[in-house]
Amino acid sequence: MYRIAPSLLSADFSRLGDEVRNVVASGADWIHFDVMDNHYVPNLTVGPLVCEAIRPHTRAPIDVHLMVKPVDRIIPDFAKAGANVITFHPEASEHIDRSLGLIRDSGCQAGLVFNPATPLHHMDHVMDKLDLVLLMSVNPGFGGQKFIPETLNKLCAARARLDAYEARSGRRILLEIDGGVKADNIAEIAAAGADTFVAGSAVFGAARDADPNRYDSIIGAL
């Protein structure tokens, strides 16, 4: 089973509630919510207030991708704001196990995000606290970048780790991909092992030009 998680980073921020409703009506499974702090990544976006503002507009899970440092003190705020999934980068946390525990204790699903050059071994000793693993296929900070092809090998390696974990624990950890996902590369990304696909510019860019209120065609193509 696959999930499509449109990233609001490429949405029209002047009408986010409409964007969220439209994209879910067009078939989106999750809403991907990119949080950037102009410190861990060179861009600045939105915080818990905006998450809280979009929460009443959909029942779809809100997938909060934290690109902030430090991470711990903002986790409870996002949980209160209605997040369902919270992920962070291991480089941004002093204590990865503690941050994952904080997310789960706040009632959300927890995930680790791996930048293109971040090795997968950061997940090794925290698998029992992971609900998902997110591989970045671009360097974080901006929408509309090109998919880094080496990510396909990394996806295969991550898939093998998660399958081995599932075989011994009976627990499935989702494998999400973020960055440069388009209609013309999503099939090979899925073949490499991803089951959850973030797509920002692909969903909110071209599709909106065709019809400002519908995203069926692009989500259908993904």
Binding residues for ligand DX5, per CB under 6 A? 7, 9-10, 32, 34, 65, 138, 140-145, 178-181, 198-202
DSSP string, 141-207: T-SSPPP-TTHHHHHHHHHHHHHHHHHHHS---EEEEESS--TTTHHHHHHTT--EEEESHIIIIIH
How many residues at the interface with Zn ion, by CB under 5 A? Answer: 3
For position 176 contacting Zn ion by CB under 5 A, the verdict is no
For position 37 contacting Zn ion by CB under 5 A, the verdict is no
CB of 22 to ligand DX5, least distance (A): 17
CB of 167 to Zn ion, least distance (A): 29
CB of 142 to ligand DX5, least distance (A): 6
The single residue among 19, 34, 37, 131 that binds Zn ion, judged by CB under 5 A, is 34
The single residue among 65, 89, 161, 208 that binds Zn ion, judged by CB under 5 A, is 65
202 is in the binding site of which of Zn ion, ligand DX5, none (Cβ under 5 to 8 A by kind)? ligand DX5
Quick one: which H or E segment has residue 95?
none
Tell me the Ramachandran region of residue 141: left when phi exceeds 0, alpha when psi lies from -120 to 50, beta otherwise. left
Q: Report whether 112 contacts 96 (CB < 8 A).
A: yes
Q: Report whether 17 contacts 51 (CB < 8 A).
A: no
Q: Report whether 130 contacts 123 (CB < 8 A).
A: yes
181 is in the binding site of which of ligand DX5, Zn ion, none (Cβ under 5 to 8 A by kind)? ligand DX5
For position 178 contacting Zn ion by CB under 5 A, the verdict is yes
Residue whose CB is less far from ligand DX5, 127 or 176: 176
Show which residues are catalytic: 34, 178
Coil, strand, or helix at residue 61?
coil
193 is in the binding site of which of Zn ion, ligand DX5, none (Cβ under 5 to 8 A by kind)? none
Of 216, 219, 63, nearest to 132 by C-alpha is: 63
Q: What are phi and psi of 193, to 5 degrees?
A: 125, -5
CB of 139 to ligand DX5, least distance (A): 8
Q: Is there a binding annotation on residue 65?
A: yes
Coil, strand, or helix at residue 33?
strand
CB atoms within 10 A of CB 172: 13
Residues belonging to the binding site for substrate are: 7, 65, 141-144, 178-180, 200-201
Residues that bind Zn ion (CB under 5 A): 34, 65, 178
